[in-house]
């Protein structure tokens, strides 16, 4: 019993540490998922509702994830953990500023490419993206300057290959142990001419934990799609691509800024 209490205490302390151990960070994952993540640097779960996702359970983000998603109706849901190798400065303030800048410089999403499984090649996923002062793409603003602030929220315009032009609410925050981005659609998302998701029915959240030589990234996206006679279930990979693109964009920014 004493050993169990000591181990639990050590686990909790590790999560608060700026450079926690990889083994301790992944201890909450089921062994099969942990092995896949260590082998492939990624593990993913798909479902039709948030309640069927499992990777977030027992993790450091559990309370935050539950509060954001447990009350939402959904027809599509996806989650994933990623291990991303990246060299970051040892000094915590410098490292944190790099991460904050990488996660809020939304204008650098312009031209972002992702791999298309159907086409078997890279394709442009986001044609343009920037912060705005309102839901009018003509009110373009520069990327935010955080200074000493630990959070920011703004409206963002995007023109995507899959869903065309749209606006979303983009939030960034930095709490003890991780960084967080939350994105919610403010306008409807259409798949071609077919309405797919109504306003505020798509929520994507990404958590980032700096580790020793790696980043542990958890992403989850949940959507309530408009009924398409079952067709919406084939769009799970498309909605997952949105989350993957967000993580790819952030990783590219961070590697560019850190020179890794």
The structural domains of the chain, with segments of one domain joined by +, span 38-258
β-partners of residue 168 are 156, 185
Residue 192 is predicted with a pLDDT of 74
- Taken in order 17, 21, 22, 23, the sign of the CA dihedral is negative
Q: How far apart are CA 205 and CA 182, in angstroms?
A: 4
Residue 21 is predicted with a pLDDT of 60
For the segment 90-116, the average pLDDT, to the nearest whole number, is 88
Burial class (CB in 10 A: 0-12, 13-18, 19+), 189: buried
Q: Which residue has the tokens 């019993």?
A: 1
Whether pLDDT at 106 is above 60: yes
Residue 114 tokens read as 């992702």
List, for residues 186-213, the tens digit of each pLDDT value.
999 887 777 888 999 999 999 998 887 7
Residue 246 tokens read as 């967000």
Residues 18/31, Cβ–Cβ less than 8 Å? no
Q: How far apart are CA 214 and CA 6, in angstroms?
A: 26
Q: Which CATH class is domain 38-258?
A: alpha beta
Range with the poorest average pLDDT among 16-20, 79-83, 173-177 = 16-20
Q: How far apart are CA 254 and CA 23, in angstroms?
A: 24
The pLDDT mean for the chain works out to: 83
Maximum distance among all alpha carbons in the chain? 63
Range with the poorest average pLDDT among 21-25, 160-164, 188-192, 242-246 = 21-25
- Taken in order 99, 100, 104, 105, the sign of the CA dihedral is negative
- Taken in order 66, 67, 68, 74, the sign of the CA dihedral is positive
């Amino acid at each position: 019993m004493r050993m169990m209490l000591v181990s639990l205490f050590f686990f909790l302390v590790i999560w608060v540490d700026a450079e926690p151990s990889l083994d301790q960070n992944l201890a909450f994952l089921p062994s099969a998922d942990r092995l896949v993540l260590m082998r492939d640097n990624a593990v993913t779960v798909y479902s039709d509702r948030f309640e069927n996702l499992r990777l977030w359970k027992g993790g450091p983000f559990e309370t935050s994830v539950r509060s954001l998603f447990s009350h939402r109706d959904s027809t599509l849901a996806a989650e994933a953990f990623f291990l991303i190798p990246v060299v970051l400065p040892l000094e915590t303030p410098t490292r944190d500023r790099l991460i904050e800048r990488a996660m809020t410089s939304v204008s650098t999403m312009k031209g972002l490419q992702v791999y298309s499984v159907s086409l078997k090649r890279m394709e442009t996923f986001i044609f343009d993206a920037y912060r705005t002062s309102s839901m009018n793409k003509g009110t373009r603003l520069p990327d935010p300057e955080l200074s000493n602030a630990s959070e920011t929220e703004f409206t963002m315009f995007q023109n995507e290959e899959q869903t065309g032009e749209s606006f979303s609410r983009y939030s960034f925050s930095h709490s003890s142990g991780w960084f967080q981005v939350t994105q919610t659609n403010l306008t409807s998302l259409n798949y071609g001419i077919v309405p797919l998701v109504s306003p505020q029915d798509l929520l994507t959240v990404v958590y980032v934990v700096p580790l020793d030589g790696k980043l542990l990234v958890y992403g989850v996206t949940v959507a309530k799609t408009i009924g398409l006679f079952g067709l919406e279930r084939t769009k799970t990979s498309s909605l997952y691509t949105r989350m993957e693109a967000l993580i790819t964009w952030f990783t590219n920014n961070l590697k560019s800024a850190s020179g890794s």
